[in-house]
Structure 1
């Protein structure tokens, strides 16, 4: 969900937890340029998608886990702790708020990350939170399954968390999350097996494009945790508004695109690899019973799904330009900026309001006296003063003497001596 703004020759990429900008679109971030990128993106009217994980923590953990001898899929979960996401979520919120750039936080996988987002929203931050169908329905305990193929099939980034599915449904319920997406990557077992030597080589991704609506309806609408209108907002209208293509999409009315889903809220189905349309030979939703399924799907007015019959049409899609400055998100940003102008108001102070030190203003305070430079301690110092000797002739007498160049010192320091003296 990234809003491209215009074609500009920008191609930046850094190595770890990447910063990628292509054709004017900020795809990801990391590095010293981060703040400048946010400022520029906000001024151009972009919505920046932030894949929120701390790359430095993950890189260090990967080395530790591999050094400990953990090479299976469970190592992926160990190397991507919850803290790596929560830290990045907080950092992304703060940077986006400071630079006046709206942030889209994708794939939030824990209740803790969603709580940070909720609290930032309450403070007026313009941020959008997203999670996935897999995170709402599948438990991260699958990484410790005895079967390597079963565990590897669940590898995605960020990883699924143990015991967090219900916390994320709660985040949907209280409005912390704004979008439920799929992040669909349906690898088969042979492709996943490319990482059989070490977990860092396992292709990361899970399916979800078919199951997304059914999972959300079952987990949130059926138990009464969200309304049907909220369901439509999470999967359709809010994404369209964020991309600035609403009401062309995301709404049924005259003039809008005829992309229509006819939904049966009572029909049940058991999800299985044998039933899905993907070529993947595994389903992470295997055996999950869902209530609420699509009956008919129309794309641009053409029927592409007729109950159990799927009629795909190649080359039927259209390219649409996405305009910058989506009102849905930038109106909120403008409100935030106006409020901050009030908060950051300047206080005008007269002379009597300025601070005084010992009854004087800073301008009246005399400069400090110069401090005599101390000589090195290694240099010899004497307490003996030649001018204080009782037999020392007056300077003027010596100057007036015709033989002053050969004046004999009668009482030299240390007493009289023979020879030279």
Structure 2
């Protein structure tokens, strides 16, 4: 074989690849919509979006609600892309003290959508990463079942909302798939999403969040109650001051720091739980098959219960405080690292201990694992890695 002709098959292959890439090039289109309207005192704002993002901020001065929408699309032809954005409307409805802003997608002509690639080299934002791994997500929107997918045959269409609201206005957000970002808002917040990411930062009010497979981050929140429910996403909490906190997860990691709460209830069916600087009055933390690592300040505690059915538990408490411990473990033993606990009674796999002069009882059930008790030292705690 002639050495000069050997590279030709490779060059031919590269040429075919380049032609294929060009064949898959997509056309894009974009348009902007907006709404501005006054609201009565005590009114609730409801925002509905299928795919994209929602950003909510509080107005610096009293004024009307302002909604801006950026609609982006992709299509095989410029006509296809333009047709998709043309089919999106921003609708407003008022009923029973609720102002509803609804993003109307072209559901009559499409039942499957995907997130358009925006930016150089088609870089996807963080909220689409999980969807890209799963492949698709079925959501209910506008009374219809809609599929959000990465399939190239799906309509490439997303709507990004920027919302400005007055102080002390309650807000309800329903989005199928995408990112939700709420910051510096004073008022009750209700969020419902199926997949993506949710960030609630520096807000004052009650927060109720149903996040499906989304990752959730809540930081610097003050309010009467916080309720978060996820199916498989990561839940991160920091700087929470609330009377009641309820956290439920089917499989994701729950982690938090600087939580000053009256009552906290945590139930994670198949994921880990890790807390730093937890200051509860009443605490009930449970997981089915995950590990639990809790560093909490016991000074306000009246009731403290921790249970992992098949995982291990690490309990970190100030060694200078007096408290009681009732512990059930797989082998009936408790590992003490730098702690002095006196065994008062052993009944099968359950032991009763006390530190110092005793006090409030901390009850730990780890029937399928081990319990380690060590001094409280937030600087030495490493939160469990996200899985």
Bin for the TM-score computed over the shorter chain? under 0.3
> Greater strand percent: which structure?
2
Provide TM-score, normalisation by structure 2.
Answer: 0.23
Larger radius of gyration: 1
Bigger relative CO (Cα 8 Å, ≥ 6 apart): 1
